[in-house]
C-alpha cells in the first residue's frame, strides 16, 4: 500500500501564504538561500552515500575546512554541489530549461570528481545496482535528451508545477544520461522547475531513501503516480518548513 498521497491542494495553500510575505527582505532572502543550500547539498549527497553530516557539510562549504576521516571525493561532492546550487538560483530567474542548463548543472557538481565526464553524456553502457532496470544504450542518449528537452514546454503548460517538476526528475533518472551523478542532476533540474514556478525547493531526507528509491523503481515499471505522490509529499514538507521560517521571521 502506498503511504504517500497527492498533496497539491495543501501545497498551493502554503504557497499562497508564502507569497503573502513577498518580496522578501534581502538579508532574509540571503539567509534562507544559505539555509536551503546546506540542507539541499547535504541531503542530495547523502542519498547517494556521502557520509558527511549536515553540520560537516556546512563547515566544508562555508569555512573551507576539511573533516577528518572523510574522503576527498565526499568533500568535492559538497563543494561541487554547492556551486551547482548557485547556478540553480541564477537559472531560476529564467522561464525555460535548456539542454545546456542540465549539462551545466551536472558539470559544476561533478568536475572535481571526474573532469573528463562532467557535463557530458556517457559513452558507455551503465547498469544500476539493486534493480533490473536497464538504462538506454549510450548511443541513444543525445536524441533522447533532445526529445526530452523539446517536451519540457508542453509538460510545463499541461501539468501542475509539482507534477511537472517530478516528471523532469523521472525522465532524467530514466534516461540516465551521465556516467554518474544522474540522481543529483535529476534533483537539481526538478528543483529548478519548482523555483521557476515560485515553489520552495524539495528536500528529500536521507531517512526516506528507501521510499525514494522504491518510488523511482515503480516509475521505471510504469507506476508514475507512486513517484509523483512521493515528490508531492516531500514538497509539502518543504513548503511547511519554508512557511514556518517566514512566520518566525515576522514574530
Query: Is 176 part of the annotated catalytic residue set?
Result: yes
CB 194 within 8 A of CB 202: yes
**Cα–Cα dist 80/39, whole Å:** 14
**Cα–Cα dist 191/201, whole Å:** 5
**Cα–Cα dist 150/170, whole Å:** 16
Sign of the alpha-carbon torsion through 25, 31, 33, 36: negative
Residue pointed to by grid coordinates 525555460: 96
Of the residues 81, 106, 169, 176, which is catalytic? 176
**Cα–Cα dist 122/96, whole Å:** 24
Q: Which three cell numbers stand for residue 152?
A: 519540457
- Closest to 135 in 3D by CA, of 173, 170, 105: 173
**Cα–Cα dist 113/119, whole Å:** 12
Residues annotated as catalytic (active site), given as ranges: 176
Amino acid at each position: 500500500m502506498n503511504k504517500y498521497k497527492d498533496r497539491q491542494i495543501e501545497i498551493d495553500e502554503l504557497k499562497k501564504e508564502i507569497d503573502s510575505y513577498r518580496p522578501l527582505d534581502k538579508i532574509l532572502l540571503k539567509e534562507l538561500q544559505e539555509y536551503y543550500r546546506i540542507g539541499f547539498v547535504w541531503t542530495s549527497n547523502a542519498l547517494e552515500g556521502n557520509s558527511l553530516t549536515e553540520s560537516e557539510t556546512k563547515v566544508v562549504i562555508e569555512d573551507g575546512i576539511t573533516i577528518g576521516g572523510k574522503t576527498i571525493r565526499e568533500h568535492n561532492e559538497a563543494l561541487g554541489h554547492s556551486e551547482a546550487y548557485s547556478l540553480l538560483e541564477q537559472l531560476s530567474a529564467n522561464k525555460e530549461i535548456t539542454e545546456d542548463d542540465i549539462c551545466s548543472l551536472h558539470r559544476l557538481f561533478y568536475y572535481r570528481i571526474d573532469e573528463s565526464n562532467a557535463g557530458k553524456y556517457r559513452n558507455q553502457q551503465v547498469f544500476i545496482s539493486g534493480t533490473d532496470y536497464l538504462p538506454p544504450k549510450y548511443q541513444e542518449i543525445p536524441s533522447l535528451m533532445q526529445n526530452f528537452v523539446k517536451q519540457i514546454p508542453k509538460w510545463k503548460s499541461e501539468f501542475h508545477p509539482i507534477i511537472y517538476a517530478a516528471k523532469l526528475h523521472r525522465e532524467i533518472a530514466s534516461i540516465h544520461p551521465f556516467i554518474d551523478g544522474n540522481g543529483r542532476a535529476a534533483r537539481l533540474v526538478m528543483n529548478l522547475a519548482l523555483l521557476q514556478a515560485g515553489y520552495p525547493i524539495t528536500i528529500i531526507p536521507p531517512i526516506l531513501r528507501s521510499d525514494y528509491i522504491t518510488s523511482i523503481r515503480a516509475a521505471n515499471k510504469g507506476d508514475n503516480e507512486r513517484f509523483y505522490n512521493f515528490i508531492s509529499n516531500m514538497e509539502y514538507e518543504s513548503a511547511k518548513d519554508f512557511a514556518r521560517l517566514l512566520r518566525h521571521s515576522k514574530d
